[in-house]
Chain A
Amino acid sequence: MKIVVCIKQVPDTAEVRINPETNTLIREGVQSIIKPYDMHAIEAGLQIREKTGGSVTALTMGPPQAETALREAISMGVDRGVLLTDRAFAGSDTWATAYALFKAIAHIGADIIICGKQAIDGDTAQVGPEIAEFLGIPHVAYIRKIEDIQANSIVVQRLMDEGSDVVESSLPVLLTVVRELNSPRLPSLKGKMAAKKAEIEKLAAADIGAEEDQLGLRGSPTQVKNIFAPGVKKDRRMLDGPAEVQVDILVKELTGLKCL
């Protein structure tokens, strides 16, 4: 079984703030991590390999520093790391990202493609299903359990609003996973040593036969018009005084509004 796990290295977003004067992101001192859901994707790939044999390839798109994320994946037991890196990819939105990853996956070849549920860097949860559409293969999103896997099919549980669906899919298939699916393993020493030595394959736009006008900013249908820190509610009322007084005012207001 050929398994490809798409991962993304992102800044630890709990730390990201916005500069209120310039309205730009403050990223200094923010550590990069593999996005949390991707750890579950890697674990799922490794578990499938343990059952069916085969190989797990970690694929990421980003600047050369994104190699760190691939090495981290290798330290967990992934066989191979592929970095999609080219200035042509810069500024890609989800459509252009999905297109580039699709081209890379078509180049590498895969029976099962696994993505995290969403990137904390954008939280869009779109890339996985878009890749599946480009590849012309089925996908199942938000899977929380893999029930069975055969040479030509897989049965998974998909999380829905009020429970879950048991879904059977033909292969090749793309899966996006949720946290519940597994608990990601820690790296192993042999893995860490392998990760240090591992040769990370680098692919550029030309290597995967991607069309330039579909990539990066040019290939992105959406644009970020502006970013801003959330503003203040217009009718806000800050209360004053000791706790007793504040509570009194509040209870009076609420009673006045017939809320109690």
Chain B
Amino acid sequence: MDYFLTEEQMMIRDLARQIAEEKVVPVRAELDEKGEFPWDIMRTLAQSDLFGLFIPEEYGGLGKATLELCIAVEELSRACVGVSTTYAANALGTFPILLFGTDEQKKKYLPDIAAGKRLVAFGLTEANAGSDAGGTQTTAKLERNEYVINGTKQWITNGGEAEIYTIIAITDRSKGPRGASAFIVEKGTPGFTFGKKEDKMGIRASATTELIFDNCRIPKDNIIGKEGMGFVVAMKTLDNSRTGVGSQGVGVAQGAFEEAVKFARKRVQFGHPVITFQAVQHMLADMATSIEAARSLIYAVSRFIDSGAKDVSKESAMAKLFATDIAMKVTTDAVQVMGGSGYMKEYPVEKMMRDAKILQIYEGTNQIQRNVIGQALIKEAARNKS
């Protein structure tokens, strides 16, 4: 369908697609099998300016916004969600600086991020704090000109590989959720180390580790926003990144769908290609319809965000929820259409199905997305009553 993309948006799509097809597709199975971090691909993305997509021009970026980022993420995900997760998590980690950072912080970090010289990670989740951000136990204490950070972040995407980390820690436990703050920590700071790399079901090209802070001292100026703004920073960051996760869903679903169609045209049973059977056609029809619906929603919400809307929590949650649920469904059905072949590692759809599962889990499980939507509905209903 024609989404009336601008010429530049089409340029971004074509370039991301070229990179996906020429650089990602040939290596994705190997990266998956070895669990190898895709540094070569990251260098290509850097050289192609894709890391600077959503960063303002004054900081060396291209000054584009949510929709453009979604287009790029979708194309990369069509080839490999492990790779797109690495790319998207970089954006996730950058949003706190972009949205709440001081001029000095932006000048210091954004140009390198835009050039793809330094990779970023976002650290929120902990052993006892995932869906429940209030359970955060990592602390940051101000001692003269430094914050001293203690605690462990868990399942952090790009952990160990990134050089810049934006993390959430408690500065005043007595204030509950209002006692959290956001910080920038650079790799190599004494007292900051990484746990072992996790062995995952899918997105195996991406790196996931613990971030361990043991009396890690960072300059006072590394706080993002003010003390107590940590959860606002985290929530606004997630509001901005959810459409990206949704795009990963659209991309992987599209990739799996294309594989299924290609296979169904070739595979002959009962003397005919299986695509001529209604049972298969109906599955493909449902897959195609839900992909288009998800893409329409993602693009619409992205344009809504880019229009400067203030509160986008509900809409972005809807986009993430819908697109990632269909991603799981479509990738599973792609395996089904391909039957035994779909289940074999010789074809890419079993990997796509494994990869798709994380999308329903990370950056807020789809259950949490429903909570966000539900709470927004309650607020709206109350407002309309008065």
- Given a CB threshold of 8 Å, the question of whether A touches B is answered with yes
Tell me whether A186 and B62 are in contact in the complex, defined as CB-CB below 8 angstroms, given that A192-B11, A193-B8, A193-B11 are known contacts: no
The answer to the question of A189 belonging to the interface, with a C-beta cut-off of 8 Å to chain B, is yes
CA A90 to CA B140, docked complex, whole Å: 74
Contact A185 B47 (CB under 8 A): yes
Contacts of A188 in B (CB 8 A): 15, 47-49
**Chain B nearest CB: distance from A184 CB in Å?**
11
**Chain A nearest CB: distance from B210 CB in Å?**
35
Contact A187 B48 (CB under 8 A): yes
The answer to the question of B80 belonging to the interface, with a C-beta cut-off of 8 Å to chain A, is no
The answer to the question of B223 belonging to the interface, with a C-beta cut-off of 8 Å to chain A, is no
The answer to the question of A190 belonging to the interface, with a C-beta cut-off of 8 Å to chain B, is yes
CA A188 to CA B45, docked complex, whole Å: 9
Stretch at the interface among B18-26, B199-207, B376-384: B18-26
Contacting residue for B12 out of A185, A189, A191, A196, CB 8 A: A189
B58-86 CB contacts (< 8 Å) to partner A: 62
Chain A, Cβ-Cβ closest to B49: A189
Contacts of A196 in B (CB 8 A): 7, 11
Q: How many B residues touch A, CB cutoff 8 Å?
A: 17
Contact B11 A186 (CB under 8 A): no
The answer to the question of B50 belonging to the interface, with a C-beta cut-off of 8 Å to chain A, is yes
CA A180 to CA B62, docked complex, whole Å: 33
Contact A189 B11 (CB under 8 A): yes
Contact A186 B50 (CB under 8 A): no
B283-297 CB contacts (< 8 Å) to partner A: none
A181-207 CB contacts (< 8 Å) to partner B: 185-193, 196
CA A188 to CA B46, docked complex, whole Å: 9
The answer to the question of B44 belonging to the interface, with a C-beta cut-off of 8 Å to chain A, is yes
**Chain B nearest CB: distance from A54 CB in Å?**
20
Contacting residue for A189 out of B7, B22, B53, CB 8 A: B53
**Chain A nearest CB: distance from B91 CB in Å?**
15
Contact B47 A190 (CB under 8 A): no
**Chain A 154-174 near chain B by CB (<8 Å), digits 1 or 0:** 000000000000000000000
Contacts of B47 in A (CB 8 A): 185-186, 188
Contact A190 B15 (CB under 8 A): no
Contacts of A185 in B (CB 8 A): 44, 47
**Chain A nearest CB: distance from B200 CB in Å?**
29
CA A238 to CA B203, docked complex, whole Å: 54
Contact B8 A186 (CB under 8 A): no
CA A196 to CA B53, docked complex, whole Å: 18
Contacts of A193 in B (CB 8 A): 8, 11
A185, A187, A193, A196: which has the most chain B beta carbons within 10 Å?
A: A187
Contact A189 B62 (CB under 8 A): yes
A108-128 CB contacts (< 8 Å) to partner B: none
Contacts of B23 in A (CB 8 A): 186
**Chain A nearest CB: distance from B59 CB in Å?**
14
Contact A190 B19 (CB under 8 A): no
**Chain A 52-70 near chain B by CB (<8 Å), digits 1 or 0:** 0000000000000000000
CA A187 to CA B19, docked complex, whole Å: 9
Contacts of B62 in A (CB 8 A): 189-190
A185, A188, A190: which has the most chain B beta carbons within 10 Å?
A: A188
**Chain A nearest CB: distance from B71 CB in Å?**
12
Contact B44 A186 (CB under 8 A): yes
Contacts of B12 in A (CB 8 A): 189
Contacts of A192 in B (CB 8 A): 11, 15
Contacts of B19 in A (CB 8 A): 186
Contact A190 B49 (CB under 8 A): yes
CA A191 to CA B50, docked complex, whole Å: 12
CA A234 to CA B380, docked complex, whole Å: 87
Contacts of A190 in B (CB 8 A): 49, 62
CA A188 to CA B19, docked complex, whole Å: 10
Contacts of B22 in A (CB 8 A): 186
**Chain A nearest CB: distance from B167 CB in Å?**
30
Contacts of A186 in B (CB 8 A): 15, 18-19, 22-23, 44, 47-48
CA A187 to CA B12, docked complex, whole Å: 11
Contact A189 B44 (CB under 8 A): no
CA A190 to CA B114, docked complex, whole Å: 12
**Chain A nearest CB: distance from B278 CB in Å?**
34
CA A187 to CA B62, docked complex, whole Å: 15
CA A224 to CA B332, docked complex, whole Å: 59
Contacts of B8 in A (CB 8 A): 193
Chain B, Cβ-Cβ closest to A191: B49
Contacts of A187 in B (CB 8 A): 15, 18, 48
CA A196 to CA B10, docked complex, whole Å: 13
CA A190 to CA B52, docked complex, whole Å: 10
**Chain B 28-46 near chain A by CB (<8 Å), digits 1 or 0:** 0000000000000000100
Chain B, Cβ-Cβ closest to A190: B49
**Chain B nearest CB: distance from A182 CB in Å?**
13
A185, A186, A189: which has the most chain B beta carbons within 10 Å?
A: A189
**Chain B nearest CB: distance from A14 CB in Å?**
17
CA A193 to CA B7, docked complex, whole Å: 10
CA A185 to CA B47, docked complex, whole Å: 8
**Chain B nearest CB: distance from A89 CB in Å?**
32
CA A192 to CA B7, docked complex, whole Å: 11
Chain A, Cβ-Cβ closest to B62: A189
CA A193 to CA B64, docked complex, whole Å: 13
Contact B50 A189 (CB under 8 A): yes
Contacts of B53 in A (CB 8 A): 189
Q: 13 A-B Cβ contacts within 8 A?
A: A185-B47, A186-B18, A186-B23, A186-B44, A187-B15, A187-B48, A188-B47, A188-B49, A189-B11, A189-B52, A189-B53, A193-B11, A196-B11
Shortest 7 CB-CB distances between A and B: which pairs?
A: A189-B49, A188-B49, A188-B48, A192-B11, A190-B49, A186-B48, A185-B47
Extra A-B contacts (6), CB below 8 Å, given A186-B22, A188-B49: A185-B47, A186-B48, A189-B50, A192-B15, A193-B8, A193-B11
